[in-house]
Homo-oligomer: A and B are copies of this chain.
Amino acid sequence: MTADRTRDEVAGWWATAVSRIEPGVIELRGHPVQDLIGTTGLTDMIWLMLRGDLPAPRESALLEAALVAGVDHGPQAPSIAIARMAATCGVGLNNAVATGVNVLGDVHGGAGEQCVALLDEICDTGDAAATVARWRARSPYLPGFGHRFHPVDPRRAPLLALVDDAVRDGVVAGRHLAAARAIEELLNARAGRHVPMNIDGATAVIYAELGFAAPLARGLFVLSRSVGILAHAWEETQQGRRIKGPIPPSILPAHLGPGAG
């Protein structure tokens, strides 16, 4: 095996269209990094890195709204609480953020991904009622709909309004939005029930309308929630506690032991 052959094998194993790095050269999706710095917004950059092209301004605005909407939902969300506790244990901020991000799993962070799959299925079959029935037979939770805490999620209306505008102006096609609204109508048609779209549903509409694959709904939520995770981990760091357990010691039953220990 020659040196060239070896390099070919390595280049194949680590093949990537995301970046090209040579001495003095950094290309991201084919763009020299110096052309991106100062000209390209962070949201455009996210789109570029994930998809290979740059978004139209209205597409970028939709994506940005979804990313902004999901940054935080308070310190009791496990991803946030865990990152705050981690920050008191003597690890780096990167470790605290990673610890929080790590729990954005199928149940805590995966509803958007599942909702995109649900909306895709309705778009494919054209039958919302049958699709919803199929999903509800598998699980009592319909991803993207209903909230145990908010009677109305304040993020739903402004996000859907932006999608409505984008549909009106031909920025996106509106098929996934229609699918999501069809689900809401089905759920609310049941006597005495009100199960509106939640943040996972509203952002799933945006991600799906923009053409992101379902797993990227989780991936984009990770980027969004990382902002809140970092903000909380940093605030906790500044508060200075050490080895913070979940329950304040003042109300802790003795047999559970201390947080510190």
**Are B106 and A86 in contact (CB-based, < 8 A)?**
no
Instruction: State the CA gap A79–B94 with chains docked (Å).
Output: 11
B81 pairs with A245, CB closer than 8 A: yes
Chain B residues with Cβ below 8 Å from A9 are 248, 250-251
Q: Convert A54-75 into 0s and 1s, putting 1 for each residue whose CB lies closer than 8 angstroms to a CB of B.
A: 0000000100110111011111
Tell whether A227 is near chain B: CB-to-CB under 8 Å: yes
Cβ of A247 under 8 Å from chain B: yes
Contacts of A129 in B (CB 8 A): none
The answer to whether B245 touches A247, judged by C-beta atoms less than 8 angstroms apart, is no
Q: At the interface, yes or no: A40 with Cβ under 8 Å from chain B?
A: yes
Bound complex: CA A88 to CA B81 (Å): 13
Q: Does A28 contact B (CB under 8 A)?
A: yes
Q: What string of 1s and 0s marks CB contacts (under 8 Å) between A31-50 and chain B? A: 01110111011110110011
Q: Are B24 and A154 in contact (CB under 8 A)?
A: yes
- Copies of this chain held together in the complex: 4
Residues from chain B with a CB closer than 8 A to the CB of A245 are 76-78, 81
Residues of B within 8 A of A46 (CB): 227
Known contacts A102-B98, A102-B99, A107-B242; A154/B19 CB under 8 A: no
Report Cα–Cα, A188/B57, bound state, in Å: 43
Which residues of chain A from 186 to 214 have any CB-CB distance to chain B below 8 Å in the complex?
Answer: none
A142-168 interface code vs B (CB 8 A; 1 in, 0 out): 000001111110110111011000000
Q: Which residues from 224 to 261 on chain A have a C-beta closer than 8 Å to any C-beta of chain B?
A: 226-228, 230-235, 237, 239, 242-248, 250-261
Q: Which of B33, B74, B78, B253 contacts A155 (CB 8 A)?
A: B33
Contact A14 B223 (CB under 8 A): no
